[in-house]
Amino acid sequence: MASPTARTLDVGVGDASLASADMVLNIGPQHPATHGVLRLRVALDGERIISAEPVVGYMHRGAEKLFEVRDYRQITVLANRHDWLSAFANELGVVLGVERMLGMELPERAVWARTLLAELNRVLNHLMFLGSYPLELGAMTPIFYSFREREEIQSVMEEISGGRMHFMFNRVGGLYQDLPAGWLDRVSAAVAAVRKRMPQLESLLVGNEILQARTKGVGVLPPSLAESYGVSGPIARASGVDLDLRRDAPYLAYGELFAEGGPGRVVTRTAGDSLARLEVLLEQTHVGLDLADACVERLRSLPQGPINQRLPKVLKVPEGELYTATENPLGLNGYYLVSRGEKTPWRLKLRSASFGNVQVLSELLPGCLVADLVAVLGSMFFVVGDIDK
């Protein structure tokens, strides 16, 4: 849908002038390249984008208000759904916040098992975008490779939780149940299989002349702009913003994993373009596999013991407030919990990673060609439900 806006351009011949019109183009909300119902209202001067306005809210379900009428056990059902590619990571922010307000100490096995599952979920998330982004640029083959690797990890996640997307395995005080017999062996086998075959996917991406032509130097995001708009995660790190909560504000077992000599490392680039964002995502997938291996080895060495804490029949959180941030696959995810000492939260505000990643498009897209719009949009790695909540 387009509407013209009258404009007069001076052509420099006497007093003659040429009347032209800017075109306002709606991309979405139903468009195959917008990852869901995102609408972009774009003003064009010929093939050049003059302004771009992301229009969000089409998927808004009012999750933050729904939190307030559910007890702390039930909240997890809602919390894992806003970013459906990062369900386990979404659950973590809620349960960690509640546990901290309760002053609860977790069993060591629960801490390492949570870390393992969070990294497997991170790999699942990244593999989805590593396949779907080239698809948006016209390359169909990579998504078949990425989904093959996803299924390897998905099978062990489904075995332990019973779910393929909404795992619902976290509980306040630990995990739902103990790890199945032989499960760690199957995780090791799945990680090894993915690691062995990743070069096949990389060969379709790294050094691909067509992909480089579509992404190199396109959609450059300066670090100052990323910081001012609250952009985080792999997108910010591709612009040189060296921030990762797993290292900078450790939770779970990340303090040990990101210590000197550990397998954890923060992947950054400085180019800040669409290609750099893809490269960061690709390298972070390898880091996630390394962290998963380290967690498996640690769990093997731990003695048998509880995987959760016993809770009272009615769980009430002491009066107070707390902000809990975690490093989700797409960036910083935060829950601001306010309790009045009841079994339901008085307020629970969600700071999702995808919102900042999308709002910066209004600064990033002007000056780009229409042909580059999808290349920039797809490289911002967002989930629409994570924006709208």
What is the sign of the dihedral through the CA atoms of 222, 257, 111 and 167? positive
Question: Angle between the 141-161 and 183-205 helix axes, to the nearest 10 degrees?
Answer: 170
For residue 242, the model assigns a pLDDT of 95
- Does residue 107 have a cis bond before it (omega within 30 degrees)? no
Q: What is the distance of C-alpha 114 from the center of its chain?
A: 17
- Beta-carbon contacts of 157 under 8 Å, excluding residues fewer than 6 positions away, are 88, 117, 120, 121, 124, 163, 164, 167
For residue 327, the model assigns a pLDDT of 96
Q: Rounded to whole angstroms, how far apart are CA atoms 148 and 219?
A: 30
The domains located in the chain, with CATH, are 2-55 (no CATH), 63-388 (1.10.645.10)
Cα torsion 197, 236, 335, 133 to 10°: value is: -40
Q: Rounded to whole angstroms, how far apart are CA atoms 73 and 189?
A: 33
Q: Rounded to whole angstroms, how far apart are CA atoms 135 and 378?
A: 10
Q: What is the pLDDT of residues 128-172, one digit of tens each?
A: 999 999 988 888 899 999 999 999 999 999 999 888 888 889 999
Q: What is the pLDDT of residues 271-282, one digit of tens each?
A: 999 999 999 999
Cβ neighbours, 10 Å, residue 150 = 21
For residue 244, the model assigns a pLDDT of 96
H helices present in the chain, as ranges: 63-67, 75-79, 87-102, 108-136, 141-161, 183-205, 209-215, 223-228, 233-238, 245-248, 254-257, 274-301, 353-359, 361-364, 370-378, 384-388
For residue 28, the model assigns a pLDDT of 73
Is there a contact between 316 and 98 (Cβ–Cβ < 8 Å)? no
Strands in 347-351's sheet, in edge-to-edge order, are 320-328, 331-339, 347-351
Q: Rounded to whole angstroms, how far apart are CA atoms 200 and 203?
A: 5
Supply 233's token pair: 């995660």
For residue 14, the model assigns a pLDDT of 47
3-state secondary structure of 171: strand
Of 334, 356, 275, whose CA–CA distance to 79 is shortest?
334
Query: Which amino acid, residue 138?
Result: G
Supply 293's token pair: 């291996």
Residues of the chain below pLDDT 50: 1, 4-6, 8-15
Q: How many helices (H) and strands (E) does the chain have?
A: 16, 9
Q: Rounded to whole angstroms, how far apart are CA atoms 289 and 194?
A: 8
Q: What does residue 263 show for φ and ψ, rounded to 5 degrees?
A: -75, -15
How far apart, in Å, are the Cα atoms of 371 and each of 180, 215, 378? 50, 11, 13
For residue 62, the model assigns a pLDDT of 86
Supply 101's token pair: 């307000």
